[in-house]
Amino acid sequence: HARNSGEHEYLEAIDEVLNTLGPLMVKYPQYIEPFERLVEPERQIVFRVSWVDDYGNQVVNRGYRVQMNSALGPYKGGLRFHRDLNLSVVKSLAFEQVFKNSLTNLMIGAGKGGSDFDPNGRSDGEVMRFCQSYMTELYRYLGPETDIPAGDINVGGREIGYLFGQYKRLTNHFNGAITGKDTNWGGSNIRPEATGYGLVYFSEYYCNHHGTSLKGHKSVVSGSGNVALYTAEKLINFGSTVLTLSDSNGYILEPNGFTKKDVDFLKELKNKHDGNLQQYTAYSKTAKYFPNEKPFSVKADFAFPCAAQGEITGQEANTLVKNGVKGVFEGANLPCNNEAINFFKKNKVLFAPGKAANAGGVAVSGLEMIQNSQRQQWSKEEVEEKLHSIMKDIFDSSLKAAKDFGFNDDIQAGANISGFLKVANSMIQQGNV
Ligand code: NDP
């Protein structure tokens, strides 16, 4: 604990995993030692990012890359640009990534990174100069066999383009050292859609296993970014009524449900980089906007938190349960705190942890790496079919691990156990490094 003192987010992420791995380690003490090694990142890179804004002022941000674990392959995980980002958050996400990447079965290790830079309100030129300065330090630690970052909050196609451009300039290599690239220059089809689509596939399997379905049921979705919008799109496609979307300033209620056209409008708004969700009310006559509120007080059958970590605490969990929620499926990373998770389980609410349910994004990033190394591009249909089958395998292997180790249908426990065992066994086989 002294080593990670004050890192609340990181300690909470470890606790979440230990709650289920604890009993496993009592039974199989050989796994205590790899777990102790696993919680100490293999390498943590923290660096200054100095750049010049449009008015000639020098601005300083802090850059991070935590290379958490390479037992299964090169480090892999997204970059996040957010003003609240700190080392504790990056470590918690990198730790989560270890289990997630293992579950995909794609031979990828785990990492996470980013900066406390906030691109909102910045011009394209400022974002480009920031990305170039960030990469000027980070490039030396990256490579297709070493560490392959991708996008995350506020790091989309534009930022990936600038980061890759600078990586290429500095290394003189055009290779697959970054995923989430545009499909014109090495990106995979379906990568932007993958996390949201994968989440919906996973949730449908989970519902089916419990004799229900997303079809004909109401859903609340939070966020209005990459994950939230493609989750909403696929939910609509599956026949669920999507009632809400949100951003950091409030939420929109669409009482009769969003249509595919509404979601397309919101995608365009997001791509402009200067829109906020409230502008949607000028487009839709039926929508209501609730400033400074989260959408989880709206009555629905299923909840899909797709915005940020910690958005569902005990309080929101209480309201959701009171309103009769049947399932909570995490699209974001760590959106439910441990109090909320325990409350859902106590009340027999189906709960899918992000490390399993949102693994579709990194899975298609893994498929992008394969396509890059083969100098190939697979069709949309081919990638979506592979995504579908990976999500089914993650659900099946999590369920099997839960059953094998006495956790019945507990998908959270199963995902932790299944993800951990593969990494831990590989660490043991590779020696004490
Ligand atoms: P985006 O940047 O595309 O969208 C983030 C959305 O969440 C925006 O609507 C944003 O609103 C909102 N948001 C951000 N911070 C907060 C906050 N503190 N409170 C409320 N709303 C907030 O990011 P993504 O959609 O890519 O990522 C969303 C989540 O999904 C993250 O947890 C990410 O780690 C996770 N994830 C993403 C993957 C991917 O493939 N992109 C893969 C797996 C997980 P605003 O614009 O107002 O800030």
Residue 274 pLDDT greater than 80, yes or no: no
Please list the residues that pair with 242 across neighbouring strands: 219
Minimum CA distance residue for ligand 1 atom 15 = 308
Order of strands across the sheet with 302-304?
A: 288-291, 250-253, 241-247, 218-221, 302-304, 327-329, 350-352
CB-CB contact of 41 with 67 (8 Å):
yes
Q: Tell me how far the alpha carbon of residue 201 lies from the centroid of ligand 1, in angstroms.
A: 20
Which ligand 1 atom minimizes the distance to the CA of 151? 41
Average pLDDT in the chain: 97
- Write down the pLDDT at residue 260: 98
- Write down the pLDDT at residue 433: 85
**What are the backbone angles phi and psi of residue 77, rounded to the nearest 5°?**
165, 165
Which ligand 1 atom minimizes the distance to the CA of 359? 43
Q: Which amino acid is at 152?
A: D
Q: Tell me how far the alpha carbon of residue 226 lies from the centroid of ligand 1, in angstroms.
A: 7
Mean pLDDT calculated for residue range 132-145:
98
**Could you tell which of 248, 263, 293, 309 is best to mutate to test the pocket of ligand 1, judged by most ligand atoms within 8 Å of the CB?**
248
**What are the backbone angles phi and psi of residue 260, rounded to the nearest 5°?**
-60, -40
Structure tokens at 254: 């669409």
Which ligand 1 atom minimizes the distance to the CA of 156? 3
Residue 233 pLDDT greater than 80, yes or no: yes
**Could you tell which of 76, 148, 153 is best to mutate to test the pocket of ligand 1, judged by most ligand atoms within 8 Å of the CB?**
153
- Write down the pLDDT at residue 211: 97
- Write down the pLDDT at residue 332: 98
Instruction: Please write the tens of the pLDDT for every residue from 115-138.
Output: 999 999 999 999 999 999 999 999
**Could you tell which of 152, 200, 202, 336 is best to mutate to test the pocket of ligand 1, judged by most ligand atoms within 8 Å of the CB?**
152
Instruction: Please write the tens of the pLDDT for every residue from 158-172.
Output: 999 999 999 999 999
Which ligand 1 atom minimizes the distance to the CA of 362? 42
- Write down the pLDDT at residue 159: 98
Instruction: Please write the tens of the pLDDT for every residue from 166-214.
Output: 999 999 999 999 999 999 999 999 999 999 999 999 999 999 999 999 9
Task: Say which of 112, 218, 234, 355 is annotated catalytic.
Answer: 112
Please state, in angstroms and rounded to a whole number, the distance separating the CA atoms of residues 309 and 363.
21
Angle at 213 (CA atoms; ends 210, 216), nearest 5 degrees: 145
**Conformation bin of residue 73: beta by default, left when phi > 0, alpha when psi is -120 to 50:** left
Which ligand 1 atom minimizes the distance to the CA of 229? 25
Structure tokens at 187: 């990106």
What ipTM does the predicted assembly reach? Answer: 0.98
Q: Tell me how far the alpha carbon of residue 308 lies from the centroid of ligand 1, in angstroms.
A: 5
Q: Tell me how far the alpha carbon of residue 426 lies from the centroid of ligand 1, in angstroms.
A: 32
Mean pLDDT calculated for residue range 66-95:
98
Q: Tell me how far the alpha carbon of residue 331 lies from the centroid of ligand 1, in angstroms.
A: 9
Residue 397 pLDDT greater than 90, yes or no: yes
Please state, in angstroms and rounded to a whole number, the distance separating the CA atoms of residues 190 and 194.
6
Q: Tell me how far the alpha carbon of residue 227 lies from the centroid of ligand 1, in angstroms.
A: 7
pLDDT band of residue 37 (cuts 50, 70, 90) is very high
- Write down the pLDDT at residue 23: 84
What is the 3-state secondary structure of the chain? CHHHCCCHHHHHHHHHHHHHHHHHHHHCHHHHHHHHHHCCCCEEEEEEEEEECCCCCEEEEEEEEEEEECCCCCEEEEEEECCCCCHHHHHHHHHHHHHHHHHCCCCCCEEEEEECCCCCCCCHHHHHHHHHHHHHHHHHHCECCCEEEECECCECHHHHHHHHHHHHHHHCCCCCCCCCCCHHHCCCCCHHHHHHHHHHHHHHHHHHHCCCCCCCCEEEECCCCHHHHHHHHHHHHCCCEEEEEEECCEEEECCCCCCHHHHHHHHHHHHCCCCCHHHHHHHCCCCEEEECCCHHHCCCCEEECCCCCCCECHHHHHHHHHCCCCEEECCCCCCECHHHHHHHHHCCCEEECHHHHCCHHHHHHHHHHHHHHHCCCCCHHHHHHHHHHHHHHHHHHHHHHHHHCCCCCCHHHHHHHHHHHHHHHHHHHCCCC
Mean pLDDT calculated for residue range 71-79:
98
Q: Tell me how far the alpha carbon of residue 411 lies from the centroid of ligand 1, in angstroms.
A: 23
- Write down the pLDDT at residue 141: 98
Minimum CA distance residue for ligand 1 atom 17 = 248
- Indicate if 215 belongs to the active site: no
- Write down the pLDDT at residue 163: 98
Which ligand 1 atom minimizes the distance to the CA of 249? 47
Q: Tell me how far the alpha carbon of residue 183 lies from the centroid of ligand 1, in angstroms.
A: 22
Ligand 1 environment, Cβ below 6 A: 151-154, 195, 223-228, 247-249, 306-309, 311, 331-333, 358, 361
Instruction: Please write the tens of the pLDDT for every residue from 302-340.
Output: 999 999 999 999 999 999 999 999 999 999 999 999 999
- Write down the pLDDT at residue 167: 98
Residue 1 pLDDT greater than 80, yes or no: no
Tokens 């609730």 sit at which residue?
Answer: 290
**Could you tell which of 83, 97, 247 is best to mutate to test the pocket of ligand 1, judged by most ligand atoms within 8 Å of the CB?**
247
